[in-house]
């Protein structure tokens, strides 16, 4: 894992314990949701907590560190977070990024399937955490507490086919994720490309039943740039529809994010100030989601 996260920034995992039937059902639910008319999907329009429906060309990745992005992404997505009940104290207080989900109506079985998938993914992340700790020469239980109730988002994305692609048009433009780690579900439909450290783009191979895992910007902060947040992009040139299930996971929303002790020293000072999930994501959201411009003055 240390080699993968310091040399390329991506790796695949198999024998992960996520039932194939659950993965397939979650993909079906994503396709089912996106097959609805736009007006119906807009009933659960994305909100300031980053849950709900992001319409086609609803975000522009101005935060990209590898390309100047001026055009919105050619995809649509539904974001789902931890399924907090309406009477949860954070929901009642309208705490940022701790809201109730915006579930579509008239979709029997949708919520149950998606919640089951998210809970399964969280358990998988918790299985991976001791490996991250050991790869950083930390005690195996180092990340257990911060990831006991992680902050996560599932992005259920629809990429329509792009038959003609201009140089600056993408299903999703070159970018790095914000997360500690991202798990992308096994997908038979290609489209993902990974940027190697020499600047070349590698088409991600489709390994049967394998999750693709990568780190993001908050992993950089946790590891003082020791582990990579590798740029990647997606373009759907298959001529058919492409769906993706990306599970972005971070520590507990209240956990201070700072470089772990094995990545700092007299000759390697911390590169980033201690930060928190909420502060980081508010700034990211304001720069990225065009649909939320009306919220910026309030935040």
Strand runs (DSSP E) across 127-251, as ranges?
151-159, 172-175, 181-184, 192-195, 201-203, 211-214, 232-234, 242-250
Q: How many angstroms separate the CA atoms of 6 and 205, rounded?
A: 20
Which residues is 148 bridged to in the sheet? Answer: none
68-72, 78-82, 209-213: which range is least confident on average?
A: 68-72
Ramachandran sector of residue 239 (left: φ over 0; alpha: ψ -120 to 50; beta: rest): left
Cβ distance 223 to 263 under 8 Å?
Answer: yes
209-218, 254-263, 288-297: which range is least confident on average?
A: 288-297
Structure-block tokens of residue 188? 């038979």
| pTM reported for the whole predicted model | 0.94
Among residues 115, 124, 100, 194, which one has the least CA distance to residue 154?
115
Structure-block tokens of residue 144? 């257990």
pLDDT mean over 196-207: 90
| Domains within the chain, CATH numbers bracketed | 2-292 (2.60.120.330)
pLDDT mean over 90-115: 97
Per-residue pLDDT of 16-66, as tens digits, reads 999 999 999 999 999 999 999 999 999 999 999 999 999 998 877 666 666
| Proportion of the chain above pLDDT 90, given as a percent | 81
Among residues 106, 59, 109, 108, which one has the least CA distance to residue 79?
59
Per-residue pLDDT of 233-289, as tens digits, reads 999 989 999 999 999 999 999 999 999 999 999 999 999 999 999 999 998 887 766
Q: What is the pLDDT of residue 173?
A: 86
| Proportion of the chain above pLDDT 70, given as a percent | 91
Q: What is the pLDDT of residue 299?
A: 41
Among residues 230, 288, 294, which one has the least CA distance to residue 72?
288
188 pLDDT above the threshold of 80: yes
Question: Which residue has better confidence, 299 or 167?
Answer: 167
Maximum distance among all alpha carbons in the chain? Answer: 59
| Backbone dihedral angles phi then psi of residue 221, each to the nearest 5 degrees | -70, -40
Structure-block tokens of residue 129? 């955490």
218 pLDDT above the threshold of 70: yes
| Coil, helix or strand at residue 102 | coil
């Amino acid at each position: 894992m240390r080699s993968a996260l310091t040399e390329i920034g991506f790796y695949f995992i198999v024998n992960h314990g996520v039932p194939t039937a659950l993965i397939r059902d979650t993909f079906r639910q994503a396709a089912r949701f996106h097959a609805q008319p736009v007006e119906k999907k807009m009933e659960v329009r994305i909100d300031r907590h980053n849950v709900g429906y992001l319409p086609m060309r609803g975000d522009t990745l101005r935060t990209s560190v590898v390309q100047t992005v001026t055009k919105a992404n050619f995809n649509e997505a539904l974001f789902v977070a931890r399924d907090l009940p309406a009477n949860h104290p954070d929901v009642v207080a309208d705490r940022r990024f701790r809201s109730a989900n915006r579930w579509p109506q008239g979709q029997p079985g949708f919520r149950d399937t998606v919640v089951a998938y998210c809970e399964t993914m969280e358990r998988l992340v918790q299985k991976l955490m001791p490996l991250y700790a050991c790869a950083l020469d930390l005690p195996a239980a180092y990340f257990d507490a911060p990831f006991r109730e992680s902050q996560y988002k599932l992005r259920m994305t629809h990429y329509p086919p792009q038959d003609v692609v201009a140089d600056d048009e993408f299903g999703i433009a070159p970018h790095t994720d914000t997360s500690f780690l991202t798990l992308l579900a096994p997908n038979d439909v290609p489209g993902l490309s990974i940027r190697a450290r020499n600047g070349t783009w590698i088409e991600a191979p489709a390994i049967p039943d394998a999750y693709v895992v990568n780190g993001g910007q908050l992993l950089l902060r946790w590891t003082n740039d020791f582990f990579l947040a590798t740029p990647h992009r997606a373009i759907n040139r298959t001529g058919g529809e492409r769906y993706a299930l990306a599970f972005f996971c971070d520590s507990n929303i209240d956990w201070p994010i700072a470089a772990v002790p094995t990545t700092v020293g007299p000759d390697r000072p911390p590169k980033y100030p201690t930060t928190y999930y909420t502060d980081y994501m508010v700034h990211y959201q304001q720069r990225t989601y065009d649909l939320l411009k009306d919220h910026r003055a309030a935040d």
